[in-house]
Amino acid sequence: MTNKVTVQVDLFKPSGKWAYGFKSTFDAPIGRYVEDQELLLLAALNQSEVAPAAVTNGTYDVYVKETDECMADPDYKGFLCRLIKHWRE
C-alpha cells in the first residue's frame, strides 16, 4: 500500500493578493526532501481546481502547507511546507 499525503496549496499574485486555493493528494515522499519544482508538479497534477500551469509556470507565489491529516501520519517527516516565490512576471 502506498502512503498518500494531502497538502493545502494557495496561489498568491506577486502583489500578495490571494488568487486560488486547493488541496492536493499524492504519494508521500517518505524520507526524502522534495525540490521545489517537483513539489509544484506533484501539487499541480494531483488536483482539479486550477490549470496545472497556474501552479508550475512561475506566475504566482505558491504556499504549500501540510494539512492536519498529513501531520498526523507517522511516516511524514516534515519536508513539504514552504513558500515558493514567483519567478516570472
Q: Assess if residue 72 is contained within a domain.
A: yes
Q: Assess if residue 62 is contained within a domain.
A: yes
| Structural domain of 22 | 4-84
Q: Which is more confident, 31 or 3?
A: 3
- Number of folded domains that form the chain: 1
The answer to whether residue 1 scores a pLDDT higher than 60 is: no
pLDDT at 85: 94
Confidence of residue 88 (pLDDT cuts 50, 70, 90): confident
Q: Assess if residue 89 is contained within a domain.
A: no
pLDDT at 8: 96
pLDDT tens track for 37-86: 999 999 999 999 999 999 999 999 999 998 888 788 777 777 889 999 99
Q: Which is more confident, 89 or 30?
A: 30
- The set of cell numbers assigned to 34 is 522534495
